Amino acid sequence: MIRRLSAWLALACLAVLLAACAEKPPYKQEAYVFGTLVQVSVYGAPEDRARPAVAAVLADFDRLHRLLHAWEPSDLQRINAAIAAGRASEPAPAEVIGLLRDAADWSARSDGLFNPAIGNLIELWGFHADTFAARLPDPAKVAELVQANPGMADLSYVDGRVASRNPAVRLDLGGYAKGYALERAAGILQAHGVRNALINIGGNILALGQHGSRPWKVGIQHPRQSGAIATLELRDGEAIGTSGDYQRYFEVAGKRYCHLIDPRTGWPATGAQAVTVLVRGAHAGTRSDVTSKPMFIAGPDAWRPMARRMGVDDVLFIDARGRASATRSMAARLEWLDQTAPLAVVE
């Protein structure tokens, strides 16, 4: 049976929880890009300033969609076509090359568990689509792609052209692009004089300033129930991101197969229901998107060392049985709502 959450529910995985108060509500706009619903909320700016600022953000999201889409026509798709044909690409935008180099650094830091080069595996599992068929791939084909061992280190860059010594490389920045877009959006809003905003791209959220007299407040989606499992206040410059098995998945014979593929096996990771990270500082948006993936794939026995390796202090990990653990600093930030699911604190 196929179960796929609609865009509005994907957004709700980290929905903005705005308490009723006398303060004027934020100016909001929504759009559908990156395969998910996005929302930009601006507080405290007059509409004649907020409207063009948000319009500029949404226009940039559309631009990034055309630049980085993994299977629809885009600059990234043209690079993939060149690699598959065994040749170097046409000159690629410097922005794309910069993102690929940065993604390669993150891949190395994660021991390859974050691996944007496994697009062929993602396609084989049927996740290069907006809807998924409840069908398992041929195990022999999965094993063949794992044996080919595509990785970001296979890429080379000469005169603005991208090539790969490994034709099995197929680039998919689905675990990176939303975080990068958050940072772009924050910069655009600030350039338009907006100081207080919340940017939500399918549950990856970045905060600027605050919501009037209080911080922005967000909720963390319960991975197996409707509504939030916890809330927290998001401070200026902080970003939060979740990797979960409840957003893009299908079921066969009662077993769930999610889009988070373990590059070591070629099969969806099964050790977690959700991983949420909270980050701050430079490149908070990108880090909120990238770092949750390798922790999810690492599983219950290895997520904590992986968090240290990725430089993330604040983590909430919910294992495959629904047991929740959080680092001490993250636990201190959470308002835990699900009293049926005790929260264990780990060092």
DSSP state of 203: T
Interhelix angle for 47-68 vs 94-109, to 10°? Answer: 80
Q: What is the pLDDT of residue 4?
A: 41
pLDDT for the residue numbered 232 = 96
**Residue 346: closest CA among 313, 309, 298:** 313
pLDDT given for residue 314 in this prediction: 98
Per-residue model confidence as pLDDT tens digits over 226-238: 999 999 999 999 9
- Predicted pLDDT at 228: 95
In whole angstroms, how large is the CA radius of gyration of the chain? Answer: 20
159-197 pLDDT, tens digit each: 999 999 999 999 999 999 999 999 999 999 999 999 999
- Cα distance from N-terminal residue to C-terminal residue, the chain: 39
Residue 12's pLDDT is 44
Contact between 170 and 89 under an 8 Å Cβ cutoff? The reply is no
- The beta strand positions in the chain, using DSSP E, are 27-33, 36-42, 155-158, 161-164, 197-201, 204-208, 216-221, 228-234, 239-244, 249-252, 255-258, 272-279, 314-319, 324-327, 335-336, 343-346
Mean pLDDT computed over 92-118 = 98
